Structure 1
Amino acid sequence: MPSTLPAAAGSATGDAADGAAVAVAYGYHRERDTDMNLRGLKSTVAASALALAALTVSAHAETTLTVYTAVEAEDLKRYAETFNADHPDIKINWVRDSTGVVTAKLLAEKNNPQADVVWGLAATSLLLLKSEGMLEPYAPKGVEKLDKKFVDKSNPPTWTGMDAWVAAVCFNTVEAGKLGLPAPTSWKDLTKPVYKGHVIMPNPNSSGTGFLDVSSWLQLFGEAEGWKYMDALHENIARYTHSGSKPCKLAGAGEIPIGISFAFRGAKEKANGAPIEVIVPSEGIGWDMEATAIIAGTSKLDAAKTLVDWTISKKANEMYNTGYAVVAYPGVAKPVPNFPDNIIEKMIDNDFEFAANNRKAILEEWQKRYDSKSEAK
């Protein structure tokens, strides 16, 4: 009679069936768990890699350099946009003022620098900063292609030149005609009584153009005769501005017949329709160059080097040529409409070391003698 009892738990038939079922189930779950774990691990690794890449890109994209400059305010946007076309990951925070103000600000911050780079400041100012140990020595990529007079003589150099600006007299022919003023041909002409109250020039404490005028007169005429010349010129000065371009702009607008400024500004005013003649005084003219340097101690040295590499490139010099007739990269400069033909030969053999080493004493003496006619800041 068949048994109604279930097969014993330990019977061969039950063990085999149950064991097979358990093995299949275990194998399935283990394979599924392993697959899920691998997929999870891959997802985690991928997510981490993406996050790291995003952080890296974000950090790089957010690199901001504080750049001190005396470049004309109207040109700063163009400078940044042209640079960012090649390096969109480095942003520029401009701090702009006239040459004297920027130089004084940098010196005041010597022990706690706020700038990373100086892009567009007079070479005489950078020589002063160099003497104070404030510049990072660096030879930009391609520096050997520049005209040697635009490169600091140290090895490696601490600054590199961009372009040169030269002194000139902006003479408004219409306003001068109304007043019966003859066109001056020399610096010494400007001391004649006929010009009394009809001349404006930049304050050298504020303006690099003003300083190159004063330092060049001291070189041209000698120290004693140079100060004697400035005493006589002061009698004819209506006021001293805090901008190198302003005297020419005022002359162009007809507010004054004679503005001592720089040649390119005069050419630009004339191109814009102002009745301006750009006069190159017969004794010779002072000049200076805009230059670039890295401030020692910057925490963003790699980005600063990238910027400085770019500032000496051919592309950068082509950009400078839209605002200056003389640039550091040979063969780049194109003729500038209304720019005097003989200006290069009239540029004095400027002693930059003299100008830099004596800057403080020259400015103190000038201020003591003539600052009473300066515009309010």
Structure 2
Amino acid sequence: MKKSPLITSMAIALLATTASTGALAKGKLNVLCSADTDWCSLMETRFEQETGVKVSLIRKSSGEGYAQLRAESKNPKIDVWWGGTGDPHLQAAKENLTQAYRAKELPNLLAWAQNQSLVSDNRTVGIYAGALGFGYNENLIKKKGLPIPQCWKDLADPVYKGEVQIANPNSSGTAYTALATFVQLFGEEDSFEYLAELHKNVSQYTKSGSAPIKAAARGETAIGIVFMHDIMKQVKKGFPLKIVAPCEGTGYEVGSMSIVKGARHLKEAKMWAEFALRPDIQSLAQSVNAFQVPSNQASSIPAEAPNFDELKLIDYDFAKYGSVATRRHLLQRWDDEIKSLAR
């Protein structure tokens, strides 16, 4: 029986479509993203377009992401944890929740990114860096006649009662970085005395690390303790915020990436790791107003990114403050001595 030209053409077209789809449909990948939502979406879309891998992405803060990996350790649902402060990534590495992988781009990364891999036995790696600070709403400060804060200790002044927001360090990597920074700057005992005084001025401990500066942008609070790049993102949107690099000095984060131990889609997870460390991919971050310092030496650094050479940065001990014992101790003490205080 002869086939009609129409049927033959349809069959050829169907085969071509199937072949094309098959070439693209190379697998699935479950990603936990702890960076800003816009950046997470950019990475998801670009990876899918480039590889054909179907990405299922969820966004959680660093502390929440770490908690999920622990809860699912016997039956992991996540393949790659991308973004978020490095301390919980290091803790996950110490608890054997993630697995070793040396990406091809590792030798091309900046020293602080390679160090993240070194201290974790290659179970996590640095993808960006950001400096801690605080921002204030210039209009609100003027309206309320408040002095302009320049130092961490200024924020404990009673004049700022109810005017400060910071995240909860249990859920937020940003706030844990702040907690660890204060301990390294002032010593543990003095830092908890400071936190007790600061507590009197805190109107809310948010779940998300960037939420305090978003509240300041909206005029809901005068001051937000966050990473400087989160303040700059709101500045670029037109909000009247000023960035402060505290006079005493400050800590910084090494945003990290880890492949989960027992990942169901290991091949695709390694593809993501290679993809995320490429300079062309890292350079895309500024297109969604993500102004962290990228880890690959060949990446384009946003003009709005903090200049680490000009900041008074502490020698942040990532190995110690990313350890299981230290992190649990500080969080427990914060819960017992700060969170429970009346305001």
TM-score range, shorter chain: 0.7 to 0.9
Counterpart of 2:77?
A: 114
Deviations 1:106-154 (A, max 9, x none): 1111222111111113211111111111222111122111112102106
Counterpart of 1:209?
A: 174
**Within 2, Cα distance between the matches of 1:259 and 1:242?**
13
**Within 2, Cα distance between the matches of 1:92 and 1:290?**
21
Counterpart of 1:347?
A: 313
Counterpart of 1:183?
A: 148
Indicate whether 1:252 and 2:203 are aligned.
no
**Within 2, Cα distance between the matches of 1:201 and 1:143?**
34
Counterpart of 1:261?
A: 226
Instruction: Output aligned runs, 1:220-259, within 5 Å.
Output: 220-259=185-224
**Within 1, Cα distance between the matches of 2:221 and 2:292?**
25
**Within 1, Cα distance between the matches of 2:303 and 2:206?**
26
Cα gap change, 1:143 to 1:327, in 2 (>3 Å): same
**Secondary structure of residue in 2 paired with 1:226:** helix
Instruction: Output aligned runs, 1:355-370, within 5 Å.
Output: 355-357=321-323, 358-370=326-338
Instruction: Output aligned runs, 1:1-377, within 5 Å.
Output: 58=22, 61=25, 63-88=27-52, 90-151=53-114, 152-153=117-118, 157-322=122-287, 323-337=290-304, 344-357=310-323, 358-372=326-340
**Within 2, Cα distance between the matches of 1:315 and 1:187?**
37
**Within 2, Cα distance between the matches of 1:100 and 1:214?**
13
Contact 2:166–2:224 (8 Å) recurs in 1: yes
Higher relative contact order (CA 8 A, sep 6+): 2
Counterpart of 1:20?
A: none
**Secondary structure of residue in 1 paired with 2:78:** coil
Shift of 1:224: 0.8
**Secondary structure of residue in 2 paired with 1:345:** coil
Deviations 1:221-248 (A, max 9, x none): 0111111111111111111111111111
**Within 2, Cα distance between the matches of 1:368 and 1:92?**
40
Compute the RMSD of aligned alpha carbons: 2.5
Q: Which moved more, 1:121-130 or 1:55-64?
A: 55-64
**Within 2, Cα distance between the matches of 1:368 and 1:121?**
25
Contact 1:209–1:262 (8 Å) recurs in 2: yes
Deviations 1:15-44 (A, max 9, x none): xxxxxxxxxxxxxxxxxxxxxxxxxxxxxx
Deviations 1:62-114 (A, max 9, x none): 611111121112322211122233212x1211121111111111111122211
Shift of 1:57: 6.4
**Within 2, Cα distance between the matches of 1:148 and 1:107?**
29
Q: Structure 2: which 5+ runs fail to align?
A: 1-10
Q: State the one-letter code of the partner of 2:236.
A: A
Shift of 1:178: 1.3
**Within 2, Cα distance between the matches of 1:83 and 1:344?**
35
**Secondary structure of residue in 2 paired with 1:169:** strand
**Secondary structure of residue in 2 paired with 1:181:** coil
**Within 2, Cα distance between the matches of 1:344 and 1:108?**
41
Q: State the one-letter code of the partner of 2:97.
A: M
Deviations 1:187-236 (A, max 9, x none): 00111111111111111111111110001100110111111111111111
- Identity, in percent, stands at 30
Shift of 1:333: 3.7
Shift of 1:334: 3.0
Counterpart of 1:10?
A: none
Q: State the one-letter code of the partner of 2:45.
A: E
**Within 1, Cα distance between the matches of 2:57 and 2:105?**
25
Q: Which moved more, 1:341-350 or 1:199-208?
A: 341-350
> How many pairs align?
323
**Within 2, Cα distance between the matches of 1:205 and 1:138?**
28
Deviations 1:167-195 (A, max 9, x none): 11111111111111011110001111111
Contact 1:164–1:324 (8 Å) recurs in 2: no
Deviations 1:273-325 (A, max 9, x none): 21111011011112112211111122322111111111111112102344123
